[in-house]
């Protein structure tokens, strides 16, 4: 996915995000605006994914997480879901070598058991090829839902309690956090949603408790490096308090 001729950028300042998560919204509307079927929007969205990954690599982010297919997306028309699954397979086949070349580690997060054996095999093969890469961690959330994530984490802890390896009174935020997706990633700093909607849509309900949110009207297939840079700049201008007070407020008291 990263471009072979991309320029090397300096490491972002400390004020920049280390882990960016993107809700990629607007493929269908992009296609509709052009009088095309929704699948054309999804195909165009793959190009936007390439641009985003290249940007993340060149700006040396620790992790980039892309919300590709939610657990609710199964409710879409069967023909569209089938096209999305086929597009997923083709994208894995065509992009994994480039990811490997650019030291990107690919991980698919979500319940992949509902996918076809063919797609599950592609996922396992792609993850295995890139698992030792030291660069950007690229998480693709597929058949993922924030509520599902929390439930599967709670089930893990319940099993440990049942087995006698975990005391109920020992369960705290850290314990649950380690049972959820992305537990070994740096925390999500910035969530970007394209397409003009201002909601989270069941995405990382636990992991983004203190992340900054950035919404843009740009439809995902049109989201480019300049838009990504704009989100990064907006993040750098915000004051993150993590539940505390601003330094000036503390001094005033």
Catalytic residue among 25, 149, 189, 227: 25
Q: In what side-by-side order are the strands of the sheet with 19-23?
A: 105-109, 137-144, 63-70, 19-23, 190-193, 212-215
Annotation marks residue 174 as catalytic: no
> Which residues is 212 bridged to in the sheet?
190
The span from the CA of 149 to the CA of 152, in Å, is 5
Say if residues 34 and 40 touch (Cβ distance below 8 Å): yes
DSSP secondary structure of 91-145: HHHHHHHHHHHTTPEEEEES-GGGS-HHHHHHHHHHHHHHTT--S-EEEEEEEE-
* Size of the chain, expressed as the number of residues it contains: 253
Say if residues 91 and 51 touch (Cβ distance below 8 Å): no
Catalytic residue among 4, 5, 33, 73: 73
The span from the CA of 224 to the CA of 247, in Å, is 35
Annotation marks residue 73 as catalytic: yes
> Which residues is 108 bridged to in the sheet?
140
The span from the CA of 57 to the CA of 64, in Å, is 9
Nearest Cα residue to 65 out of 180, 185, 147, 145:
185
Q: Active-site residue numbers?
A: 25, 73
């Amino acid at each position: 996915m990263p471009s072979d001729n991309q320029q090397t950028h300096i490491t972002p300042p400390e004020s920049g995000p280390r882990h960016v998560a993107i809700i990629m919204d607007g493929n269908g509307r992009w296609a509709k605006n052009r009088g095309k079927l929704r699948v054309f929007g999804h195909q165009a969205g793959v190009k936007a994914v390439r641009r985003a990954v290249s940007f993340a690599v060149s700006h040396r982010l620790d992790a980039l997480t892309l919300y590709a297919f939610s657990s609710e997306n199964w409710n879409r028309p069967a023909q569209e879901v089938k096209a999305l699954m086929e597009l997923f397979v083709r994208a894995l086949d065509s992009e994994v070598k480039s990811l490997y070349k650019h030291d990107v580690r690919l991980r698919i997060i979500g319940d992949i058991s509902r996918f076809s054996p063919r797609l599950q095999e592609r996922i396992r093969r792609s993850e295995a090829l890139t698992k030792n890469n030291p660069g950007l961690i690229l998480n693709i959330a597929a058949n993922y839902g924030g509520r599902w994530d929390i439930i599967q984490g709670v089930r893990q802890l319940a099993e440990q309690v049942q087995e006698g390896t975990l005391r109920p009174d020992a369960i705290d935020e850290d314990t649950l956090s380690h049972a959820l997706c992305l537990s070994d990633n740096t925390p999500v700093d910035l969530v970007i949603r394209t397409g003009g909607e201002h909601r989270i849509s069941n995405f990382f309900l636990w992991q983004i408790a203190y992340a900054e949110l950035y919404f843009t009207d740009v439809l995902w297939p049109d989201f480019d490096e300049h838009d990504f840079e704009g989100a990064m700049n907006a993040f750098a201008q915000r004051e993150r308090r993590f539940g505390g007070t601003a330094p000036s407020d503390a001094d005033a008291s």
